[in-house]
Chains A and B, each alone.
Chain A
């Protein structure tokens, strides 16, 4: 807030390219695109760590006790630490930075037609705090006692007392890292919201804003609104861990269930915080490659707002077996089932967008389509978990695990790949190789289903989460079940190997890819008006003005099948 510059006059020299050193251009830059890349690459680096963790503990589950290549023997405490930090990293240090921070930073100013975020230095500060949080988290793996192993939900008393979790340094460091990360995204989120509210291009009305910007902004609002109680809870838990207070200690009058409420009041909206940007990205890609107007722009928008509001009324469905009052469980079951309605509206609107379109199966489009299919599986399996009756059986089994991976994988991984394949030309000015992209796509999607479909069956058969070695449990050690585990693990290794073509494609295309030009996909939104890659200040030919909605494809009044938002036209068709 201390960032506001006084200018109410726009200076002409604002897209002046200064002589910049490497440090001032790439490390301490206040340019929103560079900060977006910093978030993107930090997120990808953390994704590699999180994926490596997944590989190690899946190998332990498939071949218990044997030495894992590139790791060694997995001890029980190392196993706990690996699963905990896999979850934490994938949500807080991969999904959040890539989908909200990287995409928000890169897309919002470009799509609403302005030259930067409204608070560029706050933006840089938010990345620096985020980077610090990642460093604290990684450092926590190397302190005595190892990284925190009390699950990403950090329920006390396991998380509160070192005598239970045996990680006297790992647990507080984990909590501090999460708190820093939250601070970073609060700063970033306020910046996104303010930018989208105030800095829109001339002529851009509320319903001319591309849906992905809406989604990122609504997600930032949800994040801000849900995370506050967790900040308070994190302070309390940190005092419990380090100072010896008893906020969450039942024997001294505290209440461990209170932490669960503080956590899940954040934790459930958080699902929608990462879902919405991915939904928005998919909507952009689908409109462009189906060459059709988004079906029901306002309907999707209102459904999103409804989803956001409802998401604050469902959190206790994570606590059906935590001693929640059955009458409350009834209430939360109802709201949980209700929340599938807005999501279903959105998915149907997307399918209706595809209907009758001239669909181009680019890699980005393939990923977008697979998002719908995979997320549908994740959503439908959630019905069983949202009903308090069936949840009592399925709670904490691999069914839950498979369910939320079928939601988070499409969100965090498929959503990210959709965005990267679609906006890569804009980010780096060159096209990615489509053939290798498609190889990457099919390898990833088939292997992904190979990992998590078996886990549904394992979960329904009663296999619990967070168990180090199933051979110790005769009911779960049968050959059939072990075969499924081995199958899932091999699928995981295959999926990880299929990321190599992506990385090579990404790096090689930086130098060798076909020049993209301004608008390779013939899309309408404002970021395609800027040169690729956009220079500092984004729009060297003057700030664009907006004359129509973002999805005017195949308009009858026009010969081209697309009509960019900034091209003056005879009329201004209202975006109904």
Chain B
């Protein structure tokens, strides 16, 4: 950063600029995931046989993964709480706990993929599995991105006690990713 920009510090709406932008990012993600989920739902309604496919997905691993994400959402909101108190140590601690749970999520995801692929359910088996891998893959990609950004914030900003508001911004994104999973879980695992 060569110099400070006045534009960034202005806030005509009353929402800090970074958070306002995150809301728009979340809105654009709603459209991306919304389009995919709408396409999946239309196919699901059209093809009665997909209920049998959905019964094959591993509800146990899906449930555990829901648990990881719910807990990580809780941790990141606690990190936000401590960031408002400017407590760098605890903020970092809870950010890293969140990343750890994100890692658990990805680990279980890979175990799940491995089991399914070794049982012959691949991206190409039929369109249910194509949607399954595309939707969970896209979601997993978002989890991964969130983990990387969170690590950068924890080590780059919070360690040096600056840019505290970034904790809240990444938190909003992380909660959104959690909400997407909250809907993917019944869509792909429970409803059968």
Contacts and interface: CB of A to CB of B under 8 A. Distances in A.
A224 B28 contact: yes
B85 interface: no
Interface in A97-136: 109, 114-121
A16 interface: yes
A129 to B, nearest CB: 15
Interface residues of A, number: 62
Interface stretch (A47-55, A194-202, A479-487, A517-525): A194-202
Nearest to B35: A229
Q: Which of B7, B28, B29, B43 has the most CB of A within 10 A?
A: B7
Interface residues of B, number: 55
A1 interface: yes
A197 B13 contact: yes
Contacts, number: 180
- Which of B9, B13, B30, B124 has the largest number of chain A CB atoms within 10 A? B9
A235 B138 contact: yes
Contacts of A116: 5-7
B112 to A, nearest CB: 19
A258 interface: yes
Contact of A229 (B13, B38, B124, B173): B38
Interface in A177-198: 186, 190-191, 193-195, 197-198
Interface in B1-59: 1-13, 15-18, 20-22, 24-25, 27-36, 38-39, 42-43, 46-47
A115 B8 CA distance: 9
Contacts of B25: 1, 190
Contacts of A262: 35, 39
A543 B7 CA distance: 10
Interface residues of chain B: helix, strand, loop or mixed (majority)? helix
A325 interface: no
A73 interface: no
A560 B25 CA distance: 45
Interface string B143-154: 000000100110
Contacts of A230: 35
A198 B18 CA distance: 10
B28 A186 contact: yes
Contacts of B139: none
Contacts of A16: 3
B98 to A, nearest CB: 16
Interface in A195-242: 195, 197-200, 204, 224-233, 235-236, 239
B92 interface: no
A252 B127 contact: yes
Given A194-B24, A243-B124, A4 B17 contact: yes
A505 B101 CA distance: 61
Contact of B126 (A4, A115, A224, A252): A252
Interface in A6-23: 6-11, 13-14, 16, 18
B35 A247 contact: no
B6 A543 contact: yes
Nearest to B36: A232
A445 to B, nearest CB: 38
Interface in A65-113: 109
Given A231-B32, A254-B127, A1 B18 contact: yes
Interface stretch (B71-79, B103-111, B158-166): B158-166
17 contacts: A2-B153, A4-B16, A4-B18, A5-B9, A7-B5, A30-B2, A118-B8, A121-B1, A190-B24, A225-B31, A232-B39, A235-B138, A236-B130, A239-B134, A243-B123, A247-B131, A253-B126
